[in-house]
Amino acid sequence: MLGDTFRGAELSSFAYAHGDRLGFEIRNDHLRSLILHGGPGANLQKLVLLSCNRLTTEVLDECLRQLPHLQHLALSFIVVDELAHNFVQAFPPALSVAKLQITHARYAKPFLDEERMLCEALEEQVLRRHPPLQLVCASFAPWLLEEDDRELRWIGISESIGFSLTIGAWEPDELV
């Protein structure tokens, strides 16, 4: 597990990107061993998880709740067979940069209501946060951003509260 690999370390940042379909895929047990029970990532300030399709939303929620010092979160999540937990609610108060991308695997059934729930949580609990975040990047399905003029509303919120907002693909700009 990752906790064993980094035994004795006190990591301030951790970055993972799944770049090759045959490459190492981070899974629930890996993330738990890194963050939970005093793992080497228990005090992370920056967490980057790109193109993750083997993590569950339950474990994302569980681990994010244990990172009170997290300031930078970049999460690109590929939905395969569940989107059950609203992990956006677990974003810690210290967060100043939030980057979230939700996509569906080609063969996966879409979880429309659950994805809408994440958008609503992002708007209510992250975009309207006081003090505001410095940067929010969000990439969701186009229909979801068009629904109820969500994209325009988010732009208005960012302008009125005073944080930078990027809607659309942000993953290529994230350094790993």
User: Is residue 106 in some structural domain?
Assistant: yes
User: Is residue 107 in some structural domain?
Assistant: yes
- 176 residues of the chain, pLDDT tens digit each: 655 666 778 999 999 998 766 567 899 999 999 999 999 999 999 999 999 999 999 999 999 999 999 999 999 999 999 999 999 999 999 999 999 999 998 888 889 999 999 999 999 999 999 899 999 999 999 999 999 999 999 999 999 999 999 999 998 888 76
Single pTM value for the model: 0.94
User: Is residue 8 in some structural domain?
Assistant: no
The domain containing residue 59 runs over which residues? Answer: 13-20+45-166
Tell me the C-alpha to C-alpha distance, in Å, between residue 94 and each of 26, 46, 102, 131: 25, 11, 22, 10
User: Is residue 119 in some structural domain?
Assistant: yes
Q: 67, 39 in Cβ contact below 8 A?
A: no
User: Is residue 3 in some structural domain?
Assistant: no
Domain tally, the chain: 1
